[in-house]
Amino acid sequence: MGRLLIISILATLTVSHSPVKAEAPPPGVDSRNIRSKQWHLDYLSAQQAHNLSQGEGVTVAVLDTGVFPHPDLRDNLLAGTSVLPGDRNDGQQDRDGHGTGMGGLIAAHGRSSGTGALGVAPKARLLPVRFKLDGSLGTATGLSQAIEYAIRQRAQVISISSAGAADLGLQQAIQSAARADVVVVAAAGNKPADQNVGFPAVYPNVVAVGGIGRDGRRTRISVSGPEIDVVAPAVEIYSTNFDGEYRAGTGTSGAAAIVAGAAALIRAKYPYLPADEVAHRLTATAIDKGPPGRDDQYGYGVIDLVAALTADVPPRGFESVPATPGGGGPTTAEADGPRADGDRAATVRGVVTLGVLLAAGGTWALLVRRRRRSDDPPPRVSR
């Protein structure tokens, strides 16, 4: 037991968090042409998705190095905080650029006439929480405090572009986020610094994100493992930088930020959908890659923004049954699945769920549903 305690203390004191590999964009990249460099937007059909949702009313907490008020995202930037000892600021200082880049991928709004960088959820709000000074090192204690702060500020999505070691306090913070109905998205980790999926991506109730390249194939830098849920673009991803300019990066950090933006789109489209159902929409509508079904390289597949917003996805743990002969009514799946006007259906499910919880006298902590793994696949969506 003493050995386990020592290991836990060491993990708390210093946890290595593998960053996105940042590269300076080639000369000539500016606000006028940065959008053409953001290949992931076309790959994910972001423009079509933005006709359905832009993340309005959703707050995404970016747990990183801070988010600089870059002209392309400052209208969406909230006052946040720093949990670093002796560092008293509102989270809008960033001397590294990693956090500003992740914030831009999530919710950059760009500039007039289609210039400037654009995020996956360009109308979402960004809550910057600074828990590390640069893109490589942080502490599990700091990350746990950042998660708890985001929960108190009522963030609906938490984006964590870090991968580190196991820690009891971090695990408890993730459990608190689940109880608070927050979607938590985390990077799986980057080779060679990481060989397995890191924490907190390993934990239940966290969407673990791997990376792909322009060809749609898993990039070599992305780790693999049974915890991978989905993958997203991760190679030469252009975004905002801390100096008001732009940066390109490669790694699962960027992929996680993109998926966090996707979660914001879903939460804006279906505001009464619980966090685990939002994660379920991401996995159930993902485009299958690699071996048929879930695998350790791609998880359930590449996120599909449009399908995640439009597909009729049965609730988790639900199996569709045909209508009774002569009944002429819809199946239960048709009646209960979220649609364009999914607020009403989701509200009914929420009221029923609340009634069951109150009647049972159980605690939410015991009833939080864990995200699906390889032994509990979601229903596939025909497209």
Catalytic residues: 64, 98, 253
CA distance 184 to 77: 19
Distance of CA 84 to CAs 140, 145, 243, 303, 355, Å? Answer: 12, 9, 22, 33, 41
Indicate the burial class of 374 (C-beta count within 10 angstroms; 0-12, 13-18, 19 or more).
middle
Indicate the burial class of 331 (C-beta count within 10 angstroms; 0-12, 13-18, 19 or more).
middle
Q: Which amino acid is at 164?
A: G
Residues 6+ apart with CB under 8 A from 3: none
Distance of CA 69 to CAs 100, 106, 221, 279, 342, Å? Answer: 8, 14, 30, 29, 35
Distance of CA 225 to CAs 89, 176, 219, 220, 373, Å? Answer: 37, 25, 14, 13, 11
